[in-house]
Amino acid sequence: MNLARIAPGLAGYELRTFECVNCNRVQRTLVVTDPLSSDARVRKWLKGQLKSPN
């Protein structure tokens, strides 16, 4: 199976499409996106309950 495309899915998910070059089978799977994959998400996470260990 080869990854054919990645499309945005529901909030926090990606829709990934895999295709087999031998049998032409197609499989679509929802995958959780990395919460640290964008700068805006990282800033939100850092402003959250993350505190220094003082």
pLDDT (tens digit per residue) in 1-54: 899 999 988 877 899 999 999 998 999 999 888 666 666 666 776 777 766 676
Separation of alpha carbons 40 and 54, rounded Å:
26
- Predicted pLDDT at 35: 61
Question: Rounded to whole angstroms, how far apart are CA atoms 49 and 54?
Answer: 14
pLDDT of residue 20: 93
Give the pLDDT confidence score for residue 1 in this predicted structure: 86
Given phi > 0 = left and psi -120 to 50 = alpha, else beta, which region is 25?
beta
